[in-house]
Structure 1
Amino acid sequence: MSLMWLETEGSPFVVVPRDALPYWSGTEGDHYDRACEVTDLVDVLELPDGAEALILADEPLATAYLPEHQVLARWCYAESTEDAADIITTRLGTAEWEEGPVLRTAGELVMFDAAYFGTEVGILVDSATLDLGVGSYRVDSASIEPDDHTCFRLHRFVELS
C-alpha cells in the first residue's frame, strides 16, 4: 500500500470538520495564531460554531492518513516512501502510546495547511479526508523508530464510549 503524503509550507496541519471549514480563517484571523501557539504534539481548539479543530503541532512534517487504522503518520525521517505503510502498520501494536486530548466530531474531517482558509481546501491547498463517525475520540501519540534511519510520529483516534 502506498500513502499520500501531504506537506505544509511551514505551518502546522489542522484537522477541521468539513461542515466547519468556512470558520477556519487561516492567517487572516486568530485561528492560525492559536494553532502556532500549541506546544504539545496535538491539541484541540474550539471554533466559533462549537466545532473543534485538531492541531498537529511541533514540526511541519509530511503527514499521511491510514484510514483502516484511523492513524495519522508523520514523517520524521526515512530513506524512502516505499515501505513506509508496511513499517507503520507492523509496529502499531507494539508502539508505546501516550494519551492525548479528546476531539468531538460530527463526522467527516479534513486535514490541511493551517495557513489557508478552510474555503480554499481543494482549490488552493491539498487536503486529506478523515472519515470518522460521530462521537468523541482521544488522540493518542507515539513514535516508532525501527532503525537508526527511520522514524515516524503517529497519532491514532481512539473512539470513546
Structure 2
Amino acid sequence: MARYADPGVLEWVESGGGPLIAVPETVLPFWAGADTEELDTDYDRACEVAGHIGLLPVGDSAALVLGDEPASTSYLPEHHTLVRWSAADSEDELLAAVPAALAEAEWGDEVRWTVPGPVVLFDSARQGGDTPHVEHLRIPLDPGPYAVRAAWATPRPETWVGLVQLRRLAG
C-alpha cells in the first residue's frame, strides 16, 4: 500500500486513474472491475458516477463510488471519514488539517448506504476477488444504514482535502 510519510500513520489506497470503490466484503466476488468481456463493465459503471460519491448495485448490496478525482484515500475511524489527499506537503500536515477541513466543509447531498458489515476500498478497475493481492483498505463498518456525504475543503493555503463522511443511522 502506498505510504506518503515514513513510517506513515495511515495506509493509503490509490487508483490507476479511475474512481476508488468501497465494496461490502460479502459481495466482493461480484465486482468484476474492468476485466470482463462485457461491453459495459463494472469499472465503466463506476466511471459514470457523477459527482463526489454515488452508489452502484453489487450482488444483493451496494458499493460506494468515490468519484471526481482519483486522490489517494484513507479512513479515519475517529472522524468516521474517508480522507482524500489532494494537496499537502506531508501526511502529518494533511492529518493536522482534517479537523479544520471538517469544520469548514460545504457538504453535498447525502446518500443512504446500507452495508452488511465491513467494506473494502480499492481501485474500481480491479476485480473484487483480487483484493487480497492488490492495494486495498478494509474498513470495519457495523452492519446497517449510513448517511454518506462528501465535500472538498482547503483548510490551509497549500492543503486541499476531500472528505467522505459516514454517519451511522438508527435502524
* Pairwise same-fold verdict (TM > 0.5): yes
Moved over 3 A (4+): none
Q: Does structure 1 retain, via aligned residues, the 8 Å contact 2:100–2:155?
A: no
Question: Which residue of 2 is the match for residue 28 of structure 1?
Answer: 35
Q: Residue 143 in 1 paired to residue 152 in 2?
A: yes
Bigger drift between 84-93 and 4-13 goes to 84-93
The equivalent of 1:134 in structure 2 is 143
Distance between the aligned counterparts of 1:144 and 1:60, measured in 2? 16
**Letter of the aligned partner of 2:153 in structure 1?**
I
The answer to whether 1:43 aligns with 2:59 is: no
Instruction: Give the whole-Å Cα distance in 1 for the aligned partners of 2:33 and 2:151.
Output: 28
Contact 1:99–1:138 (CA<8 Å) still a contact in 2? no
> Which amino acid in structure 1 is aligned with residue 72 of structure 2?
A
**Corresponding pairs, count:** 159
TM-score normalised by the chain length of structure 1: 0.91
Superposed CA deviations along residues 51-106 of structure 1, whole A, max 9, x for unmatched, are 11000011111111111221001111112222222211344244332232111101
**Contact 1:7-1:113 within 8 A present in 2 as well:** yes
Query: Quick check: 1:3–1:85 contact (8 Å CA) kept in 2?
Result: no
Match of 1:152 in 2: 161
SS at match of 1:110: strand
For residues 1-161 of structure 1, what are the structure 2 equivalents within 5 Å? 2-29=9-36, 30-47=41-58, 49-123=59-133, 125-161=134-170
* Secondary structure in structure 2 of the residue aligned to 1:63: strand
Q: Distance in 1 between matches of 2:9 and 2:95?
A: 6
Seen in structure 2, the aligned counterparts of structure 1 residues 7 and 55 have a Cα distance that, compared at 3 Å, is same
Segments of 5+ residues of structure 1 without an aligned counterpart are none
Q: Normalization by structure 2: what TM-score?
A: 0.86
- Provide the rounded CA distance (Å) in 1 between the counterparts of 2:16 and 2:101: 29
Partners of 2:104 and 2:54 lie apart in 1 by 24
SS in 1 for 2:145: strand
SS, match of residue 122 in structure 1: helix
